[in-house]
Amino acid sequence: MSTPSIERLSVLIVEPSPQMASLVASMLRTLRIRLIQDCADAKSAGRLVQTRAFDVIIIDDATPPIGGVGFVKGLRGSTDSPSRQAAVIMMSSAPDTANIIAARDAGVTEFLRKPFATDHLRTRLVSIVSRPRDFVESPAYVGPDRRRREQGPEGEERRAPKPD
């Protein structure tokens, strides 16, 4: 089985640390990804995603001033953003269960714990390309389908039809 191509992805890195942003960009270039842009805060990133479609957004969970989760909620809620359906990879130095759940519920596609290696980033990008999840829009949630398994109901439908 061949590995899907990730080389043509356009990636936005949102990272307040210039050193970390440079390191992530270097990892992406190692993966032969060339369409890379970065910014240091959510406000700058917000302007970029309103004017340009990115395939992937890699964001630090502590991005000022609203944090990564706040940024993703705004992105997913912005119906006029060309990047609304972009895959989002959230990075965190000290994730806990509550942070990971909040990120998932905001519409984050993948999660990376810092520090990470290029292979960890490659794995997330290949997953995004090879197994894209449906984009869900409902009153309570906007983002990639949170279920990773493709599992339909077995036998009779799990939910009974509503009575007429």
- Which tops the pLDDT comparison, 29 or 148? 29
- Which tops the pLDDT comparison, 160 or 99? 99
pLDDT band at 146 (very low <50, low <70, confident <90, very high): confident
Q: Tell me whether residue 127 is in a domain.
A: yes
Angle of CA points 118, 48, 40, to nearest 5°: 55
Q: Which of 69-78, 131-140, 141-150 has the highest mean pLDDT?
A: 69-78
- Cα–Cα distance, 163 to 83 (Å, whole number): 40
pLDDT score recorded for residue 147: 79
pTM: 0.87
pLDDT band at 163 (very low <50, low <70, confident <90, very high): low
Q: Tell me whether residue 70 is in a domain.
A: yes
Task: CATH number of the domain at 110, please.
Answer: 3.40.50.2300
Instruction: Give the chain's domain count.
Output: 1
Q: Tell me whether residue 1 is in a domain.
A: no
Is residue 68 predicted with pLDDT exceeding 70? Answer: yes
Q: Tell me whether residue 155 is in a domain.
A: no
Is residue 148 predicted with pLDDT exceeding 80? Answer: no
pLDDT band at 4 (very low <50, low <70, confident <90, very high): confident
Its domain, for residue 81, covers: 10-142
Q: Tell me whether residue 28 is in a domain.
A: yes
Kindly list the distances between the CA atom of residue 26 and the CA atoms of 48, 56, 109, in Å, as whole numbers in the listed order.
Answer: 21, 16, 22
Q: Tell me whether residue 4 is in a domain.
A: no
pLDDT band at 52 (very low <50, low <70, confident <90, very high): very high
Q: Tell me whether residue 153 is in a domain.
A: no
